Amino acid sequence: MSNAPMGITYPGGFSASGITAGLKASGNPDLALVRNNGPRFDAAAVFTSNRVAAAPVHWSRQVISDGRADAVVLNSGGANACTGPEGFANTHATAEHVATVLGVSSGDVLVCSTGLIGEQLPMDKILPGVDAAAAALGSGNEFDGGAAAATAIMTTDTVSKQAGFAGSGYSIGAMAKGAGMLAPGLATMLVVITTDAVLEPAQLDAALREATRVSFDRADSDGCMSTNDTVILMSSGASETTPDVAEFTAGLTEVCVGLAKALISDAEGAAHEITIRTFNAATEDDAVEVSRTVARSNLFKTAIFGQDPNWGRVLSAVGTTRAAFEPDELNVSINGVQVCRKGGVGDDRNLVDLSGRNVLVEIDLNAGMQEASLWTNDLTHDYVHENSAYSS
């Protein structure tokens, strides 16, 4: 990660703002606007694979189909999901209003929403909020605008999340929100990524899909997939630099991995951040499946919360997968202690220290040479409390 000012206004050609439109009862900022000032307007995006997708997801899928995006408007305080034709009409009206204010086409305006499902957005607050956000674009320090936007998209997040990468003559910036319902399906949470590199839409799309495959697709907090998940990548071309695509993809992946880990770090109620590394697998898919199955085991997650290195819960989860392995060849280590060896008892489990926040679980399948890591967190009392009375 770069130490330079990070966020979506780090690359040249972008302006942003975050304002309070009055959508949240808390009075916190709740509407953000990101504008691509060009000279190019290339873009790509990936969305939730949840079949119950929110209205802004349906709208934005249409917008991105031609590989162009001039602006993104994002609101917290309401998901606009499961809201029927009225909800889609509200998304359309929001895009139209942004287009009018910025002097662009509504077909080039992406819309993202996050918050409670099943409630209509208050358009009498959204539309004036768009006016205020547009007026705030470019006012003051450009980096302040990016930080304000990152704050405005927060819901149950405790901190805003930004990232940046300095390439060879170009840069990448990003912001993300997400603390619950973090389970992958092409993308997870809301993320906006900007770059001033010169790349074609197809190149941006390929780079984004590769980056999300090994980052957001491997952040699995609670096994619950959102209806609104969206990751957007926009390019202004302002640097006039055409990078090597492999180099750009590596930089983009670095940004996405950093944000994915930040989301897990801020997961609702989490007391432990857990990395599950499965290695010596026959295929990468096997490694991903094993890591994900363990990550979604409530028995395993509650054991970690209780600081109990219960490796039996790891093995029982591994045994439900389709991965290639022999049960008597499995090894499991927790924070460097090999508690399971050859499918049986290993070193003394009391040697495992789970008092810190970071936990590393390593699962050796002894079936090949592939590996994959996935990031999750423990299941705590605070998570239950947070989600029994959700408020954005």
Residues of the binding site for substrate:
155, 177, 188, 268, 387, 392
Give the span between the Cα atoms of 387 and 124, in whole angstroms: 28
Contact yes or no for 248/171 (Cβ under 8 A): no
Helix 298-305 crosses helix 284-295 at what angle (to 10 degrees)?
A: 60
Catalytic residue among 91, 94, 188, 194: 188
Q: For the beta carbon of residue 392, count every other beta carbon within 10 angstroms.
A: 20
Task: Give me the residues paired with residue 382 across strands.
Answer: none
Instruction: Assess whether 188 carries a catalytic annotation.
Output: yes
Q: How far apart are the first and last CA of the chain?
A: 30
List, as residue ranges, the binding site: 155, 177, 188, 268, 387, 392
- Furthest-apart CA atoms within the chain: distance in Å: 67
- Active site amino acids: 188
